[in-house]
């Protein structure tokens, strides 16, 4: 990832990407689109680049747009026949079949109630039909997916969720040095945390929310102070 | 929270609720405050008269007062009008959020209406220019810029500060002609007040006997019931709004009322001090900085903690004494209910209706809980005059009592609610 990033605005021609495209294939991520032989931004934000050839715009967004394969946290809203309706922060409610849980059969239904939190994967995402979720992988095992018990849950911007999920993100590592905890980060901008005690959980959540306004470059600095936030 | 908290609406899932409940039980709050601790209130006056931005933590509210000349209603021909309007912006999302937004809008509007209009805080007769023909119509527009809980207090403080800050031009009326003097000809006039009401909000949880004051949005959404009390600077009750499902007894309400009365007094004092500082600033030759400066954080914010340091210390002492278990005997509370109804119109001092410390300690520490509940029911029933679910509260036994209460309250115009 390049350190010096430039902010681009929607409609702006991105010559940096065009230059790169001259001698190799490039992949245009979210916020960039190709118009004939030009590359134009469709969102505002810093331009990101990942070696060797991926470019995208990291715009500030809070509305989640479902995409296949995303890991998300949803709130169960209602039960409708064979389905549960789940709020995942997108324009439409998502649905999950009661058979999409580990070891669930027609007789052995999962016990879900409105208000429960689900850590699930998006199976189907299409603009025209409502998103569908699953809590099992292709082998029928739940892995880490399923209902999240206890703990504390909060919503944040999509950027913060993505930021925490980056492989090189120092924030979670810095927190691990302070205290043991469990965390589930949904790319739909929802985070669930659980630590041993109430105070620790509160501190942890506050520490993560403190990252909300930080840029990539400031994270290192903030992580140094995180233990102060956790203790407070 | 963040700007435009609507999309984030915290406190609606089960895990958040149960977390908050257990946190309240352990007496911890998310931002590290104590249960009786307020967030700092900051005021910024605009360069126009009657423009105030209020921030309490991340809750931000902008109030703007304007006035024009209109005709009075035929029922009150010699009175000007006061119109309050709340605007909660930035909601165009999901259905569920829409419904909470509507609810919020309605409760907030009715609270302001009762706090400022029904309690007759402005001297409306002074706004009359010519009887049955011309009166001043004062309009308060409140814009909610960001919602992180306790919109009630933020908007009442904003409305009051804006009204107190506002100046209207002077007019003369002769032979059917109104002449409005410009600012150069005659000085602008402030509005006349009869009293200065401000609200204080409490959240009650089933898991704890200590109500939380000045809740954040998360705490507010997870609360079992919310009590909003409006007091004026003379410590008279103007509005009480108690809803929700948590059983609240007289003791809790009285305890809240006592500290709310002190708090309101302090807030009004703070607004006065802030206005003085603003007036001084306006006398200085260089132009008054407006709200534009809020963008770069250089605006002259007038902070409650900063201005009221000494008073705060006193308040803390008083509040800590409130924390001690107080057990008012039934009859005391009951007598006081009547006492208040009788003398509601005259300004009264605290001792006449707030149970004084010594008094209470002399009382026997016996309290029948179901009885106290019965006592509190008519209170909540009378408060919810405008609420549609009033009927639910009326058990057949209590109906008579409630009815009587309401008859009394109808005859009282000065005070919306009678404790």
DSSP B293-355: GGGGT-S--EEHHHHTHHHHHHHHHHHHHHHS-----HHHHHHHHHHHHHSTTS---GGGTSP
pLDDT of residue A229: 63
pLDDT of residue A158: 87
Mean of pLDDT over chain B? 73
Fold of A71-148: OB fold (Dihydrolipoamide Acetyltransferase, E2P) (2.40.50)
pLDDT of residue B418: 40
| Residue B139, pLDDT above cutoff 90 | yes
Interface test mutation site (partner A, options B5, B12, B19, max chain A beta carbons within 10 A): B19
For strands A38-41 and A32-35, give the pairing.
Answer: antiparallel
pLDDT of residue B154: 92
| Residue A187, pLDDT above cutoff 80 | yes
Six token digits for residue B221: 């959404």
| Residue B119, pLDDT above cutoff 60 | yes
Look at B7 and A62 and tell me if their CB atoms are within 8 Å: yes
pLDDT of residue B12: 73
Question: Count of H helices and E strands in chain B?
Answer: 12, 15
Q: What is the ipTM of this complex?
A: 0.79
**DSSP characters over A114-129:** TT-EEEEEEEE--SSS
Six token digits for residue B155: 């908007």
At residue B384 the predicted structure's pLDDT band, cuts being 50, 70 and 90, is very low
Q: Which of B15, B17, B30 sits opposite A151 (nearest CB)?
A: B15
At residue A215 the predicted structure's pLDDT band, cuts being 50, 70 and 90, is low
Closest CA to A164 of A98, A206, A104, A209: A209
| Residue B403, pLDDT above cutoff 60 | no
Residue B187 or residue B346, greater confidence: B187
Pick the CATH number of B5-19+40-196+267-305 from 3.20.20.70, 3.30.230.70, 3.40.50.300, 3.30.200.20: 3.30.230.70
At residue A83 the predicted structure's pLDDT band, cuts being 50, 70 and 90, is very high
With contact defined as beta carbons under 8 Å apart, do A74 and A84 qualify? no
Lowest-confidence segment of A42-56, A95-109, B295-309, B318-332 by average pLDDT: B318-332
Question: Looking at the domain covering A152-231, what would its CATH class be?
Answer: alpha beta
Domain locations along chain A: 7-57, 71-148, 152-231
Neighbours of B197 (CB within 10 A): 26
Range B255-266 average pLDDT: 90
Residue B319 or residue B254, greater confidence: B254
* Cβ contacts from A onto B, under 8 A: 59
At residue A105 the predicted structure's pLDDT band, cuts being 50, 70 and 90, is confident
Cβ-count burial A172-184 (b if 16+ within 10 Å, e if not): eebbeebbebebb
Pick the CATH number of A7-57 from 1.20.1070.10, 1.10.760.10, 3.40.50.10540, 2.40.50.100: 2.40.50.100
Q: Which residues contact B349 (CB under 8 A, 6 or more apart)?
A: B235
Neighbours of B266 (CB within 10 A): 19
Look at B14 and A117 and tell me if their CB atoms are within 8 Å: yes
Give the tens place of pLDDT for each residue, A26-78.
889 888 998 888 899 999 988 888 878 888 888 888 888 899 999 999 999 88
Range A222-227 average pLDDT: 68
Residue B357 or residue A122, greater confidence: A122
pLDDT of residue B244: 79
Range B208-231 average pLDDT: 88
What's the CA angle centered on B18, arms B393 and B13, to 5 degrees? 85
Assess A62–B contact: CB distance below 8 Å, yes or no.
yes
With contact defined as beta carbons under 8 Å apart, do B42 and B297 qualify? no
Look at B28 and A198 and tell me if their CB atoms are within 8 Å: yes
Lowest-confidence segment of A41-45, B13-17, B58-62, B71-75 by average pLDDT: B13-17
At residue B405 the predicted structure's pLDDT band, cuts being 50, 70 and 90, is very low
Q: From residue B197, give the alpha-carbon distance in Å to each of B229, B336, B395.
A: 10, 21, 33
pLDDT of residue B198: 93
| Residue A104, pLDDT above cutoff 90 | no
Please report, to the nearest 10 degrees, the dihedral formed by the alpha carbons of residues A67, A69, A73, A75 taken in order. 70
Lowest-confidence segment of A178-192, A206-220, B122-136 by average pLDDT: A206-220
φ, ψ at B102 (rounded to 5°): -60, -45
pLDDT of residue A231: 61
Q: Which of A152, A156, A199 sits opposite B19 (nearest CB)?
A: A152
| Residue A169, pLDDT above cutoff 90 | no
Distance from CA of B216 to the nearest CA of A (A): 14
| Residue B328, pLDDT above cutoff 70 | no
Residue A200 or residue B285, greater confidence: A200
Q: Is the pTM of this model over 0.90?
A: no
Residues recorded for chain B: 419
Q: How far is C-alpha A152 from the geometric centre of its chain's CA atoms?
A: 17
Look at B15 and A157 and tell me if their CB atoms are within 8 Å: no
Smallest CA–CA distance from B14 into chain A, residue: A115
Cis-peptide, bond into residue A52, ω within 30° of zero? yes
Lowest-confidence segment of B93-107, B240-254, B330-344 by average pLDDT: B330-344
pLDDT of residue A163: 84
Integer Cα distance of B341 and B211 in angstroms: 26
Mean of pLDDT over chain A? 85
Look at A202 and B12 and tell me if their CB atoms are within 8 Å: no
Using an 8 Å CB-CB cutoff, list chain A residues near B146: none
Same fold, A7-57 and A152-231: no
């Amino acid at each position: 990832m390049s350190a010096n990033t430039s902010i681009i605005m929607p409609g702006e021609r991105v010559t940096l990407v065009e230059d790169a495209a001259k001698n190799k294939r490039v992949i245009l991520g979210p916020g960039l689109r190709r118009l004939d032989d030009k590359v134009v931004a469709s969102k505002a934000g810093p331009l990101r680049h990942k070696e060797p050839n991926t470019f995208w715009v990291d715009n500030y967004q809070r509305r989640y747009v479902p995409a296949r394969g995303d890991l998300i946290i949803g709130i169960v809203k209602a039960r409708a026949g064979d389905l549960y309706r789940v709020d995942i922060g997108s324009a439409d409610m998502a649905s999950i079949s009661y058979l999409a849980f580990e070891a669930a059969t027609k007789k052995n239904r999962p016990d879900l109630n409105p208000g429960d939190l689900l850590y699930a994967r998006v199976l189907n995402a299409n603009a025209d039909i409502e998103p569908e979720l699953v809590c099992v992988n292709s082998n029928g095992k739940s892995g880490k997916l399923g209902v999240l018990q206890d703990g504390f849950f909060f919503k944040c911007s999509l950027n913060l969720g993505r930021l925490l999920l980056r492989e090189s993100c120092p924030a979670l590592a810095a927190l691990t040095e302070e205290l043991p905890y469990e965390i589930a980060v949904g790319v739909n901008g929802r985070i669930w945390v659980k630590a041993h005690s109430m105070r620790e959980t509160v501190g942890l959540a506050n520490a993560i929310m403190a990252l909300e306004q930080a840029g990539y470059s400031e994270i290192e600095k903030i992580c140094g102070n995180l233990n102060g936030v956790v203790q407070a | 929270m963040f700007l435009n908290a609507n999309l984030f609406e915290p406190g609606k899932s089960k895990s958040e609720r149960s977390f908050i409940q257990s946190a309240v039980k352990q007496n911890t709050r998310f931002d590290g405050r104590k249960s009786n601790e307020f967030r700092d209130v900051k005021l910024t006056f605009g360069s126009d008269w009657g423009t105030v931005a209020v921030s309490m933590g991340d809750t931000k509210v902008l109030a703007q007062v304007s006035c024009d000349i209109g005709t009075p209603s035929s029922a009150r021909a010699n009175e000007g009008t006061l119109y309050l309007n709340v605007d909660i912006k930035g909601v165009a999302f999901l259905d569920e959020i829409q419904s909470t937004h509507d609810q919020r809008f309605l409760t907030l509007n009715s609270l302001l209406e009762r706090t400022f209009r029904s309690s007759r805080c402005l001297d409306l007769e002074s706004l009359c220019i010519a009887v049955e023909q011309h009166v001043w119509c004062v309009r308060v527009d409140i814009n909610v810029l960001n919602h992180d809980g306790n919109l009630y207090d933020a908007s009442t403080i904003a409305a009051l500060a804006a009204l107190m800050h506002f100046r209207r031009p002077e007019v003369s009326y002769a032979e059917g002609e109104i002449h409005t003097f410009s600012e150069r000809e005659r000085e602008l006039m402030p509005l006349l007040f009869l009293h200065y009401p401000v609200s204080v909000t409490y959240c009650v949880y089933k898991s704890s006997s200590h109500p939380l004051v000045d809740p954040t949005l998360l705490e507010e959404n997870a609360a079992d019931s919310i009590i909003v009390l409006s007091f004026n600077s003379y410590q008279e009750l103007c509005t009480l709004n108690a809803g929700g499902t948590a059983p609240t007894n007289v003791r809790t309400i009285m305890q809240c009322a006592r500290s709310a009365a002190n708090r309101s007094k302090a807030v009004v004092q703070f607004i006065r001090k802030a206005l003085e500082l603003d007036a001084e600033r306006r006398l200085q030759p260089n132009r008054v900085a407006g709200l534009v400066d809020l963008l770069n954080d250089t605006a002259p914010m007038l902070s409650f903690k900063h201005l009221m340091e000494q008073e705060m210390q006193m308040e803390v002492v008083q509040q800590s004494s409130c924390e001690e278990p107080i057990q008012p005997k039934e009859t005391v509370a009951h007598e006081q209910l009547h006492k208040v109804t009788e003398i509601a119109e005259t300004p009264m001092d605290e001792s006449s209706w707030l149970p004084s410390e010594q008094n209470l300690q002399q009382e026997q520490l016996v309290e029948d809980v179901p009885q106290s509940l019965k006592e509190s029911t008519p209170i909540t029933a009378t408060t919810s005059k405008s609420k549609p679910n009033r009927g639910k509260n009326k058990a057949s036994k209590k109906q008579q009592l409630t009815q009587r209460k309401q008859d009394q309250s109808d005859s009282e115009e000065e005070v919306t609610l009678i404790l």
